[in-house]
Amino acid sequence: MLSLTSFALVALFFMQLLGLYFYVQYFCGWGSIFREDCVYPPNPLVTDKRTRGKVLRKGFSKIKVPPNLDALVIGSGVGGLSVAAVLAKAGKKVLVLEQHDQAGGSCHTFQERGYEFDVGIHYVGQMHEGGMFRVIMDQLTDGQLQWNRLANHYDSISIGHRVYRLYAGKKEFPDALKMQFPGEEEAIDKFMFLMKKVARHVALLGTLKILPEALMRQLLRSRLLHWISPVFRMSESSHQDIMDGLTRNKDLQAVFSYLFYGVPPNDSSFMINALLIHHYKRGAWYPRGGSSEIAFHMIPLIQRAGGQVLVRAPVSRILLDNGRATGVAVQRSEGEVCVYAPVIISDAGIFNTYERLLPAEIKTIPEVHSLLSSLQYGMGCFLVFVGLKGSSDELGLKSTNLWIYEENDLNCLMGKFSSMSCEEMCEQLPLMFITFPSAKDPTYSQRHPGRSCMTLLTMAPFEWFSRWKGQQPRHRGEEYEEMKMKLAQGMLGRAIEEFPQLADKVDYMEAATPVTNEYYLRAPEGSMYGAEQNCSRYQSDIINKMRAQTAVPGLYLTGQDVFSSGLAGAVHGGLICACAVLNRILYLDIILLKKRLKSRIRQRKSM
C-alpha cells in the first residue's frame, strides 16, 4: 500500500508528465495524427465523371480487397468514412464496404436530365476559420474540401402569415431576434446564455462515451457529474419545459425549436435543440462542388494508407468466431464472399447492426436488450427534387432556406401531423422545408449551365408507404407512384406560392419516400437521422451506454447513433469510434491543434 505522501508524489509525477505532453503537443504537435502540415492548398475542382467515378464508384471484387487489413467498415456514410480516415491517418489499412453504387451515404448526389441533387446535406455550420468542426473536416480531407458561405440571412421561418429571419454572427443573431420580438430581450438573452453553456460543456457528454463505462456509471449514480456541470440536466430536460421557463411567446418558442427532425419540443432534448441553433449561429456553409465532395476528398486518405472504399458490396452478416467479430459476408450474385479483419466497424446504425447483421441471440444479451428497448426508429423523410429551367441568378434564387409551419404550437402541430393520413397531408401541409442547393454553390452554374434546382422536405411516417417495403425502385406500381407524386405536387404548389417566379420553370420532378431512403441508404423505416432524437435517448445513462464499443468483442459502432444526428453528429461518432479502436483520446490532439491554429490566426490578423 502506498502512503499518502507516496501517493501524492506519484500523482504529482503523472501530472508533470501530462503537463509535458500538453506542452509538446501545443507547441509542436509531435506524436499527433492531426497536424498543420496535413492540410494543403486546395486543388482545382474535379468535374470529370470518369475521374470522380474511380474514387466514388469503385466496384467490389475479391481481388480488390487489400491483404492484411487492420479494420473493416460497413457503410460509407460520413460516420464510416470519418473513422476510416482517422484510422488511416494512424497508419491503419482499412476497407470500407458500401451496398449502394456510390460512396458517401447521405452525402452522395445524383444526376438526372442535366440536373444534380444532393440527398441529405443542405447546409453546415461552424465552418469559420479556426472553428473546431472546420479543423476536423480539414484534417479529414487534407484541406481539399472547400466551403461556400451562405448569405448572412441564412434561414427564414414562416409561422402562419408571419416570417422571422435569422442572421449569422455572435452579435447579429441575438440582435436580429430582439428587433423582431420587442419585449422579449430578457428571454432571448437567457436562451443565448443557456445555448453557450451547452456548447461549452457538451464535451463532458463525450466523456461518457470515451472513458470507462463502469467508472462513468458510478459517477452518474452519485450525481457528481450533474453537480459539476448543468449540461447533464439540460440534456435530460425537454426543450418545451425550458422554453416555458423563458417565455410565453409561442412564436419565439417556435423559432427556438424550428429545426425539425420528427420530434416535438415536449419530447426533444433541450441540449440537442440548443446545439442545433448554436451550430449555425456563426453562419452556414455549403460544400463547393456539391455534397459528394465530402466523400471524394476523404477517400484518398484511406487509399493512401493501403485501404479501399468499394461499392456494390452489400454486407449480409457479420461473421463471429467464438463470440468475437472477425469479418463480414458480402452478398454477391455468385454467393457470399467472406472478408476478414481484426476490427469490424458498423456504420449501418444500431438497429441494422443488431437486428439484421448479427445472430438473433445477440439481442438477448441483457445490456443489448436494455439498450435497444430504450430506443426507437426515427421519423422518415419525404423529399422532392425539382429541376428548374434557368440559372439561380436568372430566377432570383437565394441561398436562404425557408422553414414553413402552419401554426406556432409545434407540439400541437406535430401531434396533428402524426395522426394525418397521406391523403390529408396532400391537402394540408403542416410543415415543410424549402432550399435551393444551386444558389448555395457558385460552381453549380458552371457545371450545369442554364439550370438550377430546388429541394423540398417534410417528415413522413413509414406506415404511409410500408406496403412497398423491399420492392425495387420504379417497380412499385402505379398506386405508389400516384400517391407519392400527389404529395410531391402538393408540396411543389406550396413552394410556388412562396416563389411565384418558378411557376413555369419546372422541368423535372422526382420524389423520395421513406421506403426510397430505406432502399438506397439502408435507413431502417427511412429514418435518415438514425435512432429517434427524443428525450429518452439523451438521458445520461443512455448516452453512457450508446458508445462505440459493443457487447460483441471486436465490433464497434460509428456514425449518427453513437453521438447525434446530421453531418457533425456523424463525424463526431466516427471520432469517438476511432478513440475506442485506437485506445486514445484523440480530442485532446484536436483541441491542442485548434489552439495552435487560432494563435496563428490572431498573429496573422494583428500584423
- The residues, any chain, with a CB within 8 Å of residue 37's CB and separated by 6 or more, are none
CA 94 to chain centre: 22
User: Which SS3 state, helix, strand or coil, does residue 443 take?
Assistant: coil
Rounded-to-integer distance, Cα 563 and Cα 577, Å: 10
How confident is the model at residue 528, as a pLDDT? Answer: 84
Kindly report, residue by residue over 551-592, the tens digit of the pLDDT: 999 999 999 999 999 999 999 999 999 999 999 999 999 999
Sign of CA dihedral 121, 125, 130, 131: negative
Q: For the chain, how big is the Rg over CA atoms in Å?
A: 24
Rounded-to-integer distance, Cα 19 and Cα 15, Å: 6
- The residues, any chain, with a CB within 8 Å of residue 275's CB and separated by 6 or more, are 198, 199, 202, 564
Prediction pTM value: 0.93
| pLDDT category of residue 379 using cuts at 50, 70 and 90 | confident
* DSSP letter for each residue of 293-306: HHHHHHHHHHHHTT
Max CA-CA distance within the chain?
84
Kindly report, residue by residue over 305-338, the tens digit of the pLDDT: 999 999 999 999 999 999 999 999 999 988 999 9
* Nearest CA-CA partner of 389 in 452, 326, 473, 435: 452
Does the structure show a pLDDT above 50 at 20? no
Contact between 515 and 526 under an 8 Å Cβ cutoff? The reply is yes
Kindly report, residue by residue over 212-262, the tens digit of the pLDDT: 888 888 888 888 888 889 999 999 999 999 999 999 999 999 999 999 888
Contact between 494 and 432 under an 8 Å Cβ cutoff? The reply is yes
* Other beta carbons within 10 Å of 5: 8
Strand duo 284-287 + 147-149: pairing = antiparallel
Degrees, nearest 5: CA angle 122-123-124: 140
Rounded-to-integer distance, Cα 76 and Cα 591, Å: 26
Sign of CA dihedral 229, 231, 236, 242: positive
- The mean pLDDT of 175-194, rounded to a whole number, is 97
Phi, psi of 291 (to 5 degrees): -70, -20
How confident is the model at residue 13, as a pLDDT? Answer: 42
Kindly report the average pLDDT of the chain as a whole number. 92
Rounded-to-integer distance, Cα 307 and Cα 343, Å: 14
Rounded-to-integer distance, Cα 14 and Cα 374, Å: 40
Among the ranges given (16-20, 345-349, 379-383, 507-511), the one the predictor scored with the smallest mean pLDDT: 16-20
User: Which SS3 state, helix, strand or coil, does residue 157 take?
Assistant: strand
Among the ranges given (208-212, 296-300, 554-558), the one the predictor scored with the smallest mean pLDDT: 208-212
Does the structure show a pLDDT above 80 at 16? no
Rounded-to-integer distance, Cα 152 and Cα 167, Å: 5
Give the position of cell 506524436.
31
CA 340 to chain centre: 28
The H or E element containing residue 434 is strand 431-435
Contact between 153 and 133 under an 8 Å Cβ cutoff? The reply is no
More confident residue, 498 or 470: 498
Does the structure show a pLDDT above 90 at 603? no
Give me the count of residues in the chain: 607
Does the structure show a pLDDT above 50 at 22? no
| pLDDT category of residue 474 using cuts at 50, 70 and 90 | confident
* Nearest CA-CA partner of 261 in 457, 8, 471, 480: 457
| pLDDT category of residue 409 using cuts at 50, 70 and 90 | very high
AA identity, residue 292: S
Provide the grid cell at 293: 465532395
* Nearest CA-CA partner of 524 in 385, 416, 414, 372: 372
Q: Within 57-171, where are the H helices?
A: 78-89, 132-141
* Other beta carbons within 10 Å of 245: 11
Phi, psi of 400 (to 5 degrees): -70, 135
Contact between 154 and 400 under an 8 Å Cβ cutoff? The reply is yes
Domains defined for the chain, CATH in brackets: 36-145+288-375+546-606 (3.50.50.60), 151-282+376-526 (3.90.660)
Rounded-to-integer distance, Cα 406 and Cα 425, Å: 12
Rounded-to-integer distance, Cα 361 and Cα 192, Å: 47
- The mean pLDDT of 104-125, rounded to a whole number, is 94
How confident is the model at residue 241, as a pLDDT? Answer: 96
Phi, psi of 28 (to 5 degrees): -125, -35
Q: What share of the chain is helix, strand, coil (3-state, %, to 5)?
A: 50, 20, 30
| pLDDT category of residue 360 using cuts at 50, 70 and 90 | very high
